[in-house]
């Protein structure tokens, strides 16, 4: 099977020739893998079945100053290094925090979806024609995290809890812009995109992030429009969410989500067998290879064993994409990473 056929077969709940494979890494791990494979494409070497297309941003971005790098939303970031040696951009300039009125929201220089160049999307899709073609990422619409980087997490949570009109206006502005960018991209692709990738962290290590009322009032209508957008263009809707989302899976199914992405097996409610039984035939999974325990701290044998379990138990009948549960962190032994992918590539369903 070609990668595209393999992925779509699994997402349509049929068994492909082998499990579809995905990879999420930090830049540090990507560099280590590239070195290991002597500069060859690590996606090819690890059998990854997905490729991404995206428009290039041509609009204005605030120039870097005093060690602060700005994004297209006008949020500023300072580079930090974690104890494990990973380099991250931490939000340091929060322009949305200064918004006190609806007029402030209206006057802000928001990014314009028309400042993206969509002209080569069709050609990107053609070049990746044998793969499952994706667009978007976990930053679309990424309401809680995305707005927090410009307003502060505590304030965003208060905005949601109190239904603050300014906070909700900022949320809706982000949703509107993200939606239009993806709409323009899907239109430019002319039906050649297979998966629309989205993100919203609806869980944490202990359970759901928001109660039923907040989820239904704030998140459900805003997320569902993106799922519907994917389906309007014949694509699958795949959404990243960290944490324990088992209580929300029936909601995601009802909303029309096709794939729940980067699923963590560690939280108490995320037992792979139990959630698979609950969602089989209705909601596909991507992830479930532990990036908190097995990959960084397990042995090579542990990694082979966990990978084999996901293939033998979770992948049967389709509806599963083999993947680490999140971006593989820099303190992960390279031999452990190779072990899980060796298992996935050697194991026919």
Model confidence at 210: pLDDT above 60: yes
Average confidence (pLDDT) over 230-252? 97
pLDDT at 330: 94
**Residue 162 is part of which domain span?**
3-59+95-346
Q: Tell me the average pLDDT across 257-265.
A: 95
- In the chain, the N- to C-terminal Cα span, in Å, equals 13
Query: How many structural domains compose the chain?
Result: 1
**84 in any annotated domain:** no
pLDDT of residue 347: 62
- Cα–Cα distance between 299 and 322 in angstroms, integer? 19
Rounded to 10°, the helix 143-151/153-162 angle is: 120
Within a domain: 190: yes
Exposed, middle or buried, 221 (CB in 10 Å: 0-12/13-18/19+)? exposed
Pairing of strands 56-57, 116-117: antiparallel
Q: What share of the chain is helix, strand, coil (3-state, %, to 5)?
A: 45, 20, 35
Mean of the per-residue pLDDT values of the chain: 96
Answer whether 201's CB lies under 8 Å from 145's CB. yes
Q: Are 274 and 300 in contact (CB under 8 A)?
A: no
Asked if residue 280 belongs to a domain, the reply is yes
Distance CA 217, CA 33 (A): 43
Q: Does residue 117 form part of some domain?
A: yes
Evaluate whether 241 touches 201 at the Cβ level (below 8 Å).
yes
| Nearest-angstrom CA–CA distance, 139 and 111 | 15
Residues of the chain above pLDDT 90, percent: 96
Confidence at 349, pLDDT banded by 50, 70, 90: very low
Residue 70 inside a domain? The answer is no
| Per-residue pLDDT tens over the stretch 86-136 | 899 999 999 999 999 999 999 999 999 999 999 999 999 999 999 999 999
For residue range 14-71, list pLDDT tens digits in order: 999 999 999 999 999 999 999 999 999 999 999 999 999 999 999 999 998 889 999 9
What's the token pair of residue 163? 């239904």
* Structure tokens, 262: 């980067």
Residue 84 has pLDDT above 90, yes or no: no
Residue 261 falls within a domain, yes or no? yes
Average pLDDT over residues 318-326: 97
CA distance 349 to 346: 10
Residue 74 lies in a domain: no
Report the percentage of the chain scoring pLDDT > 70. 99
Residue 141: cis peptide before it, omega within 30 degrees of 0: yes
Q: Is the link from the previous residue into 217 a cis peptide, with omega within 30 of 0?
A: no
Here the CATH number for the domain that contains residue 155 is 3.20.20.210
Residue 208 belongs to a domain: yes
Average pLDDT over residues 179-186: 98
Residue 348, pLDDT score: 55
């Amino acid at each position: 099977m070609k990668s595209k056929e393999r992925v779509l077969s699994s997402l349509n709940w049929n068994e492909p020739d082998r499990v579809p494979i995905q990879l999420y890494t930090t830049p540090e791990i990507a560099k280590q893998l590239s070195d290991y494979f002597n500069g060859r494409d690590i996606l090819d070497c690890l059998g990854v079945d997905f490729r991404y297309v995206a428009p290039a941003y041509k609009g204005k971005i605030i120039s870097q100053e005093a060690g602060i790098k700005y994004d297209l939303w006008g949020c500023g970031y300072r580079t930090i290094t974690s104890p494990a040696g990973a380099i991250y951009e931490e939000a340091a300039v929060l322009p949305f925090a200064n918004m006190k009125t609806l007029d402030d929201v209206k006057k802000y220089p928001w990014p314009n979806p028309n400042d993206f160049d969509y002209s080569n999307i069709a050609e990107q899709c053609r070049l990746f024609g044998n793969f499952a073609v994706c667009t978007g990422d976990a930053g679309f619409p990424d309401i809680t995290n995305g707005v927090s980087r410009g307003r502060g997490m505590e304030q965003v949570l208060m905005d949601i809890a109190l239904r603050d009109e300014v906070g909700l206006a900022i949320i809706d502005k982000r949703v509107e812009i993200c939606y239009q960018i993806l709409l323009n991209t899907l239109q430019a692709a002319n039906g050649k995109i297979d998966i629309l990738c989205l993100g919203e962290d609806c869980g944490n290590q202990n359970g759901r992030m928001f109660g039923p009322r907040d989820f239904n009032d704030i998140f459900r209508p805003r997320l569902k429009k993106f799922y519907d957008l994917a389906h309007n263009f014949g694509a699958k809707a795949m959404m990243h969410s960290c944490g324990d989302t088992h209580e929300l899976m029936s909601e995601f199914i009802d909303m029309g989500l096709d794939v729940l992405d980067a699923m963590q097996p560690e939280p108490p409610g995320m037992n792979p067998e139990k959630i698979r039984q609950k969602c089989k035939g209705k909601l596909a999974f991507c992830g479930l290879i532990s990036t908190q325990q097995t990959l960084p701290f397990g042995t090579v044998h542990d990694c082979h064993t966990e990978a084999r379990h996901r293939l033998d138990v979770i992948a049967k009948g389709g509806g599963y994409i083999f993947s680490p549960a999140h971006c593989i962190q820099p303190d992960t032994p390279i031999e452990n990473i190779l072990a899980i992918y060796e298992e996935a590539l050697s194991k026919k369903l």
